[in-house]
């Protein structure tokens, strides 16, 4: 508002000056001056120009250094000990089966019989033929359903020539009194006959009872 007031004052003053220059009397000049002074005096004497307030300077904000918290040291992770897989023990290798041991049997030969077991397991069998009598004896192994089923001569001796091929399994030598001999045979399941086939006619050892039926299973 104050600059506008001054502009009005200047205009009024200019008008007065122009009027005075136009031939007015001194009284008019004085009046004009007085008027100008009055106009000027309308403005308050103590009015001081208002200084524009300088913008308040903002106090610099001091940046407070942010102290970084010390990084927490990671606790060392203890690795769990790896579980050892149980070691499976290899099954013990079975020792190769040994060949089946021969069944052992003692066949006692005497007048007039054969004393020996009557049942055997199939496979190798070792007979220990022992002459426990006074006369010579032998042990013969024949395959057959029984002594009575074999081809027999008068007096009971076995006719060996009439046996089927392979039925005469084995025989020992002629054993004197007190002699012993081992005879090993491999018998399949079936029936067999042990005999002493010495002598003939009424003197046949087999005919006098020196025979024994056995079973192999």
With tokens 């308050």, the residue in question is 44
Provide the mean pLDDT of the chain. Answer: 75
Tens-place pLDDT, residues 68-97: 655 555 655 566 556 666 566 655 555 444
User: Percentage helix, strand, coil, to 5, in the chain?
Assistant: 20, 25, 55
Sequence spans of domains, the chain: 2-41, 103-216
Tens-place pLDDT, residues 184-211: 999 999 999 999 999 999 999 999 999 9
pLDDT confidence tier of residue 61, bands split at 50, 70 and 90: low
pLDDT confidence tier of residue 47, bands split at 50, 70 and 90: very low
CA distance 52 to 189: 140
Q: Which residue has the higher pLDDT, 160 or 18?
A: 160
Tens-place pLDDT, residues 151-166: 999 999 999 999 999 9
Burial-class residue 87 by CB neighbours within 10 Å (0-12, 13-18, 19+). exposed
Provide the CB-side half-sphere exposure for 35 (13 A, CA).
17
Tens-place pLDDT, residues 91-137: 555 544 445 555 889 999 999 999 999 999 999 999 999 999 999 99
Strands 123-131 and 103-110: parallel
Q: Is the pTM above the cut of 0.75?
A: no
Supply the pLDDT for residue 103. 82
Tens-place pLDDT, residues 164-175: 999 999 999 999
Cβ proximity of 131 and 175 under 8 Å: yes
CA distance 115 to 158: 19
Q: What percent of the chain shows pLDDT beyond 90?
A: 52
Superfamily of domain 103-216: Cupredoxins -  blue copper proteins (2.60.40.420)
Q: What residues contact residue 138 under an 8 Å CB cut-off, 6+ apart? A: 109, 129, 171, 172, 173, 174, 175, 196, 197, 198
Which range scores top for mean pLDDT: 25-34, 51-60, 76-85? 76-85
């Amino acid at each position: 508002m104050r600059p506008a007031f001054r502009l009005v004052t200047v205009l009024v003053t200019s008008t007065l000056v122009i009027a005075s220059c136009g031939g007015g009397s001194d009284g008019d000049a004085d009046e004009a001056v007085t008027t100008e002074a009055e106009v000027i005096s309308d403005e308050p004497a103590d009015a001081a120009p208002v200084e524009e307030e300088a913008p308040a300077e903002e106090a610099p904000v001091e940046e407070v250094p942010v102290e970084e918290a010390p990084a927490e040291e990671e606790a060392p992770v203890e690795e769990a000990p790896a579980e050892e897989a149980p070691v499976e023990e290899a099954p013990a290798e079975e020792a190769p089966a040994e060949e089946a041991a021969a069944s052992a049997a003692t066949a006692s030969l005497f007048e007039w019989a054969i004393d020996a077991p009557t049942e055997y397991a199939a496979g190798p069998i070792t007979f220990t033929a022992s002459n426990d009598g006074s006369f010579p004896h032998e042990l013969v192994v024949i395959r057959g359903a029984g002594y009575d089923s074999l081809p027999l001569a008068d007096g009971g001796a076995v006719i060996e020539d009439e046996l089927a091929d392979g039925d005469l399994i084995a025989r020992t030598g002629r054993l004197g009194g007190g002699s012993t001999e081992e005879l090993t045979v491999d018998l399949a399941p079936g029936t067999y006959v042990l005999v002493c086939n010495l002598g003939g006619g009424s003197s046949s050892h087999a005919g006098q009872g020196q025979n024994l039926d056995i079973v192999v299973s």
